[in-house]
Amino acid sequence: DNILDHPHHQIIRDHLGMEGHASTLTTGGLLKPAIADKLWAYIENGDHENVLKLLRSGLDIDGRLDIEGLTPLMLAADLQQVEIVKELADAAWGADCNLKTTNG
């Protein structure tokens, strides 16, 4: 058995908005809709502090906001939220700047 498949780990993943089981989980997975909607609104409104709070709570920085594969970094760049882009792209958070959406 994979220790990361333990029910306690699933509870933590659920709380953080990470879908899937740990044995198949990679960064960049689809975020839960409620978490994705909240993060989308924070980014759209330039709410830098609440974006950081979600990230500090352990949210997958490369988590996908929608089925097209949009990441928080992609959305912030599209919306020209410069401060959020700088924070997400900072090496301390480790956002993958090379990810692509399903459409490329």
How many CB atoms within 10 Å of residue 103?
Answer: 7
Q: Tens digits of per-residue pLDDT, 65-89?
A: 998 999 999 999 999 999 999 999 8
Q: What is the 3-state composition of the chain as percent helix, strand, coil, each rounded to the nearest 5?
A: 45, 5, 50
Question: How sure is the predictor about 103, in pLDDT bands with cuts at 50, 70 and 90?
Answer: confident
Is 11 or 91 the better-scoring residue by pLDDT? 91
> Is 50 exceeded by the pLDDT of residue 92?
yes
Residues 6 or more apart from 85 whose CB is under 8 A from it?
A: 73, 76, 77
